[in-house]
A and B are shown apart, each in its own frame.
Chain A
Amino acid sequence: MNDDLRTLVSYIIYCYSHNHRPNQFIIYQLSEMNHDEKHQKPKTPTITLRKFTLSDVDAFMSWAADPRVTRFQRRDPYSDPADALAYITTHILPHPWYRAICIDNTPVGSISVKPAPGEDRHRASIGYRLAYDYWGKGIATEALKLTIKAAFEELDHLERLEAIADVDNPASQRVLEKAGFKEEGILRKYVRLKGETRDMVMFSFLLSDAV
């Protein structure tokens, strides 16, 4: 029972013990609050971003070995932690910007920012993955918001962040929209994914949008 509810219950008990009729509006509010408390949306847990270390390999496997998570990724799920360790060593640790999405300092996913090749250093693309049990809690959206802020602060000359989501991945499209990305169009037959050529939705977040 929260404080507001407690106050109102005390008010009603007071009214009846003193032969006052409680204000009907207050009774209505009481019942609404009780309803809200039972049906409250779970709050997004506090998430932090930090660099990976080799000791994160087990946590890493919690999403990297899961076919539900790798469904829209180019790679197949890992089955051997040794392969995951090799990936962390050769790809994640030297990466220009790769972070673990953490709850209580335990990684539950990852997010990365990759600058565009060649001369277009003003542009970078974001990718993210989250362990299945943590989907639907607003965690990816929160991680994106933190990443947007950090990327524009830390990466020189950055003006455009972009992300692509498979047309058949509406969950990821919603995450990007909630984080403030704007849809620019559908790029047909844009990438090869597990033997198929996929249509992708292109999203962008501009530095000028961050103001």
Chain B
Amino acid sequence: MEKSGLNLKATELRLGLPGSESPERGSDKNGNAAVILSLKSFVGSGAKRVFCDATDADAKWVFSVSEAAAGRLFSPRGGGSSNNNNNNHGKVHVGSDSGLGGPVLEDGNGACVAAQSPKPVMMVQDKKSHEIAPSKAQVVGWPPIRSYRKNTMSSQSSKNDDDSEAKLGLGCLYVKVSMDGAPYLRKVDLKTYSSYIDLSSALEKMFSCFTIVSGQCSSHNVPSRDGLSESRLMDLLHGSEYVLTYEDKDGDWMLVGDVPWEMFTDSCRRLRIMKSSDAIGLAPRAMEKCKNRN
């Protein structure tokens, strides 16, 4: 994907492994832009560690065991820019013949430690559909919660899905945020933000190299009420690596920033940080829909 003349340093998203320095931007030999995202950005309220001991104390792994099982899927697209970053500190053998019924991890001392038996992990971004990358593999019977409780709670939360994933009457509006190529979903409470700028900076912190939304939303041209204008949007789309989109109540995928903030929080069901190549088709539709609404 080519870069245009726009300043994209701020908007480029890069995928890399923890502890890696930001590699030089630029295309690898295939002419693809290197996509590096420091996994450190996924450190949430609790940093997660891989099952085995990390030999390098500085390289704090930030994904959990089930992620380790899917470690092979982390390699950046297009081959990646730093070769050594593709090696996990703990080797992961995924296979059903290990006798342990699950992936076996070697820790720094070479001792084998059993991880869980993984179900197939459905992680890879799907260019064709606008499916959110599904959440990670689940281990059978873990966490140990009775089926009755699991079914009851999940039916309660799927009911909430119908209501913009709002927990009824409790004044929060949790929506999932996924990013193409990232191993995690995050959740944000839209009620805690009062504008696109707020949301953008929060997401920026969450996915720390991510500054797309602020780019989308900063007003250079004639601002609309929320600091966004049509033409600016089109300009940005050509250049940025990623854009922020959302799925509305009708199940359509729209570009964030189109509509007034309140209308957005009312109709937003989930957010997705999508490769802009996937989003090109969106913009005109979004504009039309917005026009039709107004």
Q: Do A and B bind each other?
A: no
B: residues with CB less than 8 A from A are none
